[in-house]
Each structure stands twice: as structure tokens, then as C-alpha cells.
Chains A and B, each alone.
Chain A
Amino acid sequence: MQTMLKEKRWPPYLVGTGIGLLGLATIVLMHETLGASSAFERFSAALYALLFPGFYKATGFQVDSGSIINWYCYFVIGILIGGWLSAKLSGFTPQRIPSVWQDNFGPSFFKRAIGAFIGGFILMMGARIARGCTSGHAISGGMHLATAGWLFMIAIFASGILTAHILYRKGR
């Protein structure tokens, strides 16, 4: 068991099973489903509310009942810790710049940072317009066999495949 935790990679069927079971556990024990994008909306809203006190009223943005920092926010913080823990145990070292990116756009970290920022921006705009992301729609929605979840998966693969083929001609 100890050596397993120190592995650099687990096979996909194991990881997928773990995620499926985790999704079940959160439903049964906490009445929550896995999801990552709403936390970003909340963190962003909280930050903006701090900096610009009139923010909520101005946009008419409603946060449903309770504190703006909710279960999903702690979930996302947990993801950060979990990713760190896994890498720490296995000695995983990430590439400075992903090699597929570098093969196509060169070794400039600045360029990669800009790409990541823009990508993240478009990603989250899409996620919140869809009201979910791969965790929320594809996995949680997918396991519920939701039409929203399955349509989302088809949409992201359609545009993701097209975009990747346009952006990354080398190093595939």
C-alpha cells in the first residue's frame, strides 16, 4: 500500500474507479457532487467584493444562500493539497514548460504563461456559461447520465480536438 502511494502513475481504470467511488461518497456522506468551477466564481466574487464594495449590487450577481466560501471552495483548496501530496510522495517533477507546448511555441516561459492565462480565461468563461466543468458536468453529470453532462462532453471534445489540431502541429 505504501509503495503504491509512492508510484508516479496509477493506471486509468484505478484512478477512474477512485473518482467514481469518491463521487458516490460525497453524495452519500455530504450531499454534494464533485465540481470545480463554481469555486472560482465564488473566490473571484469574494475577492471583487473585498476590493469593490458595490460589486454585488452593480452586477445583480446572486450567490445562493449561506457564505460565499462554501464546500466547493474547500474542495478546490483540497485539490491543491492533494496534487501536492501525490507529487511529494512519488518525487514527481513537472516539466518547466510542457514539451508539446514547447515543440510548437518555443521555450519562452513568458509565452507559456500568457497562453495559460488566456486559456484559463476562456476555459472559465465557458465553464460558468455552461454552469459546470469536466468535474461537474462530465463526471458528476456524466455519472448521473444527465443530458447536460453528456452534451457538455461532446461539446468540449469537439472544440478541444479542433483547437489542439490547429495549435499543436509538432511534438504530438
Chain B
Amino acid sequence: MKIAIINGRVINPANGFDRICDILIDNGKIVSIKKLTKIPENAKIIDAKGKIVSPGIIDIHTHLREPGHEEEETIRSGTISAAAGGVTTVCCMPNTHPVIDNQTAVEFISLKAKNEGVVNVYIIGAISKGLKGEEISEIGELKSAGVVAISDDGNPVMNSLIMRRALEYAKMFNLPVISHCEDLNLSADGVMNEGYVSTTLGLRGISKESEEVMVARDIMLARLTGGHLHIAHVTTKNSVELIRQAKKQKIKITSEVTPHHFTLTDECAKTYDTNTKIKPPLRTKEDVMAIKNGLKDGTIDCIVSDHAPHTEEEKQKEYDLAPFGIIGLETLLPLTITELVLKKVLTLNEALAKLTINPARILNIDRGDLKIGAPADVIVFDIKKKRKIEKFYSKSRNSPFLGWELYGFPEVTIVNGKVIMENGEIYV
């Protein structure tokens, strides 16, 4: 099938390309990126005048909940949610039931994704067997099964020796180790950021230090082992500073942030709305500021959703009892555009880099670059049009952004040369 995306502003952060021209897609691949003198017959025409055309988003931190919690999300519904959000590639975390800590489990996800997924799915395997943090999983086997990274996300690896071994061993396979930094003894039974708000709400707090001590520890282990450390969902000012210093020392470290951590603060919890209950928690104004600065100066490499679906029944509970997590695939791009680009924290090019080529390079995924012959993962979006969030394509609705008006919603999502989403309609 031929697709011609015409008149749009094509931005390709991988090489700094930023020009009004056309993209021609055929047989799943990009055929040309230039002004077309003639549009081929029987090509589907997408008029992107006044809009942005960019590589599809690569979200390297999502939870698809299958196998085990299909009532929250499935690979199918999660990838549909991705397509609705302009995300053409997702990486799914292994904290499913059962855990993705062996070859069979990886193959299950691969097959499910191939048969039922509507966007590209890459798999992150577990660092430790059963995510218990006691024994490293068969990382070599996971690699040959096709994982692109390992992580115990949802959990930290509390035992420093295990984390060291994981970094050393994974280095052999060129696998980044994605670390969820949280000292469980410090965070204990906390449910939100520890501070004035948690004190007045009477809710147990999670200190910033519970993240920072682990960031510091992991950085030292990365330095010791030479392994590639990727810090998941950074939330505090000091974490950003630690990463900044580590990069100066040329330690192999990369990091990510989520849109909710550069948009919201712990003040949102005042209504006891459990859609503000997240791990790591929403922090304070100074942390939001530090994250934005970290994005600006390159300390933070990419922006991810940490899409974590939960059913209404699970979330409709007392704050202490509700599970942590919010969905995010569909608000990833709009929040980045509204809060970072339109508020002049990042340029459009810089923001798109954080969503496409940077995550691709971190995980060695050969996508996120609009070049001739590449698989056609392309999106079209409008940064001038405002829209109110009224529904979600995900199975779950646990988002604090319901009712928000944002700019930059994707209008067309093309995956491997096939239109999967156009103007809100899903075509599968």
C-alpha cells in the first residue's frame, strides 16, 4: 500500500532534518523524504498542512499487564492505546504474572504481540528470577529470546551484590539494566511524597532520599562494573544532580522521566484522588523545575509513559489501599508538547528526540529515524489544536488528566507502513 503524507513539517531528530516536504511510504517502508513532483496513483493521501510529521514515538517503559492481569489491559488493548497516543513502538516491563524471567515467557509475549499487537512490541526481561531480587535470571537465554533490556521494575534490586552481578553479567550481552530506584526500607508503607502535604493529609510519606540513595548506589555499581545503567522514572532534584555528575565522569548511564513528574506535584493528592497515587510519587515544585532543567541540558535522555493500568474497582478505594500507578500512553505526546514545547522548556526537535531517537539508541532498537528504507513508523500531529481528554482507548481509565485540555494530540499513526490510527479511529 502506498501512502503519501504531504505538506507537513517533517522533523527527524536523528539528523536534525526540519523542513516542509512530503513522505512517501510503500510496502511498509519509507521510500522518499522530499517534495513530491507527482503523487503516485492509488496512493492514500494524508494532508499534513500546518501539522508536524515525525517518527513514531518509542515508549521504553510501559506495563501491558498480559499475562496475568488482562482485566487491566492486554497486549492488544495496550497497543491500541499506544497507537491512539502516537506511540509506534512500546517496550513492556516483565512484572506480569507469571514474570518474564525465562525464554518461554518471552516467546509468549512475542507471539501475542505478533498476532494481536497493533504496534511494535519489544520485551524487557527480568533482572532476577520472579523479581525476587535473590538470583539473577538466565540473562543469556533472555537475550537470545530477544529482550532489549532487563529490569525488575515495580521493584528495586535491594541487594547490592545482586545488582552488581546483574550489571556485570548483562554487559556481556550489551543489555542495559533499567533500575527502579527505591530503598524499600526507607519508603516502607509510604503512599505519597513525604512533605508538608503528606503531613497535613495524614498520609505516610515516601522520602525523596529513598530514591536518591539507590540512584547513588547504582551509579557507583555502574562505575565499578562498566555496565550500562538506565535510571527509570527520575523524580527528584538530587537524583538529577547525581546523574549529571555521573555523566561528567563518563559513567555509562542514561535516564528517563515521565510526563506526570514534570507536570504535577504532591499538592494534587489533597482531594485523596487515588489517580494521584503513583510510584515513584509526585514530588514538589523544586523537583519539577530540576527535571525540566535536566531535560534541557541532556542529563535526562528520554521521556516515557510508565503506563500502569488498573481497574476502577482497584482504584476506587481508600488512598492507603489503592494500588500505585496511572495510565500514560495517550497523554505522553500531548503533555510533552503542552508542558515542555509550548512552555518553551524544550524545542520541538529536542522534545521529539527524547521521544524517538534517544530511547531507540538507549535500547539499540533500529527505529525512530526517518530514513529511506526504514520501516515506516510515522505520526502526524497538530500542536496548534487543543482538545479535552474525555475518553481513553486503554481498558483502564486511571489517569489524573481526565478532563484536561492539551495540545499536540496525534492525528495519524502509521506503523510499518500501515495506518493504524487516523482521526481517532483505530484500523486493525
Q: Do A and B bind each other?
A: no
**B interface with A by C-beta (< 8 Å):** none
**A interface with B by C-beta (< 8 Å):** none
